């Protein structure tokens, strides 16, 4: 099956699963909105465009189903930001970034102030991406979400994919998978310590959340001024404050359009998911550490 056929089949499956409206919203399939946005960006380039070679690359990373599309939609509203999402064949191939040379060329040719990429499957490379040789140094946003919210969304979207992938990694058969890249020895030992013949999909999705978000600390990103930790739950609780923090980090003038698409939501009262007790403890400890780090970064 070719790449186009795979993409069409994937969209059809997701439309049946989540509904057409959800697919249109998530994958930005509204032609009128996309055309209007493209026209505004073209007009901005004509009147305010920066000199080619001066754009700042911005890397939006984290674990899938952590609200990154919400961040993209807000930043994409600004005509100063050129966006390359995972479905952009110029910058991505099967959700993975193309070569550093190709990505660098996209950045240096841009006449926007910012070039935003969303390489979630390459989140483990964010320190390398920040070191990419571009005239203007890049910045990165690591988005995260509460483990229960992420697990519910991941199970609805991907089913037992995390269970199948982590089973392979724990058995030592998944070294070539992107999900296994740069996991620390401690994270691999955690995975191997579980009985994967009895693991349930929800606990596996939570463990995936754990090992991939643990990379934020394992890669030393918490000690870098060019990386911002962004909480989905904080963003939906106070969209203006959350998007102002993102804009401030990027030195981007805040406009109401950055938050206009976000529906303010109070904290959920849903009962916690039934997870393996040890998985729950691991995730709660890491979640508290992420929240504490994000709190320290807050302006």
The tens digit of pLDDT for each residue in 173-212 reads 999 999 999 999 999 999 999 999 999 999 999 999 999 9
User: 229 forms bridges with which residues in the sheet?
Assistant: 142
| pLDDT category of residue 297 using cuts at 50, 70 and 90 | confident
pLDDT score at 94: 95
d(Cα 219, Cα 184) in Å, to the nearest integer? 9
**Distances 246 to 106, 216, 226, 289 between C-alpha atoms, Å:** 23, 18, 12, 20
- Residue 49 reports pLDDT greater than 60: yes
Residue 189 phi/psi, 5° resolution? -65, -40
Contact 230, 142 (CB under 8 A): yes
pLDDT in tens, 99-124: 999 999 999 999 999 999 999 999 99
**Pairing state of beta strands 92-93 and 96-97?**
antiparallel
**CATH number attached to the domain at 3-147+226-270:** 3.40.50
Contact 232, 67 (CB under 8 A): yes
Q: pTM for this one?
A: 0.88
pLDDT in tens, 133-143: 999 999 999 99
pLDDT in tens, 1-36: 554 454 444 445 444 544 444 444 455 555 666 676
Interval 246-275 mean pLDDT: 90
Q: What angle do CA 268, 271, 274 make, to 5 degrees?
A: 135
CB within 8 A of 263, min separation 6: which ones? Answer: 236
Cα end-to-end span (Å), the chain? 48
Report residue 257 as tokens: 């359009």
pLDDT score at 24: 43
Sign of CA dihedral 28, 31, 32, 36: positive
Count of C-beta atoms within a 10 Å radius of residue 145: 27
Task: Locate the domains of the chain by residue range.
Answer: 3-147+226-270
């Amino acid at each position: 099956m070719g790449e186009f056929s795979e993409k069409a089949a994937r969209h059809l499956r997701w439309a049946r699963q989540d509904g057409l409206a959800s697919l249109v919203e998530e994958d930005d399939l509204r032609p009128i909105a996309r055309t209007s946005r493209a026209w505004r960006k073209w007009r901005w380039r004509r009147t305010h465009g920066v000199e080619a070679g001066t754009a700042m690359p911005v890397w939006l990373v984290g674990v899938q189903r952590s609200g990154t599309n919400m961040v993209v939609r807000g930043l994409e509203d600004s005509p100063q930001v050129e966006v390359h999402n995972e479905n952009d064949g110029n910058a991505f191939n099967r959700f993975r970034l193309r070569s550093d040379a190709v990505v660098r060329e996209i950045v240096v040719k841009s006449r926007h102030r910012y070039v935003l990429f969303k390489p979630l499957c390459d989140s483990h490379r964010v320190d390398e991406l920040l070191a990419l040789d571009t005239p203007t140094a890049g910045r990165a946003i690591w988005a995260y979400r509460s483990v229960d919210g992420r697990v519910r969304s991941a199970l609805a979207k991907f089913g037992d994919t995390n269970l199948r992938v982590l089973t392979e990694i724990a058995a030592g058969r998944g070294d070539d998978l992107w999900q296994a890249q740069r996991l620390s020895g401690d994270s691999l030992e955690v995975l191997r310590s579980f009985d994967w013949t009895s693991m349930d999909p929800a606990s596996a999705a939570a463990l995936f959340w754990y090992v991939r978000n643990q990379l934020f600390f394992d890669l030393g990103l918490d000690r870098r001024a060019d990386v911002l930790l962004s909480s989905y739950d904080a963003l939906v609780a106070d969209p203006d404050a959350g998007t102002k923090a993102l804009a401030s980090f990027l030195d981007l003038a805040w406009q109401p359009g950055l938050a206009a698409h976000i529906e303010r939501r109070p904290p959920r009262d849903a009962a916690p998911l039934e997870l393996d007790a040890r998985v729950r403890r691991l995730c709660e400890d890491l979640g508290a550490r992420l929240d504490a780090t994000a709190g320290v970064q807050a302006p």
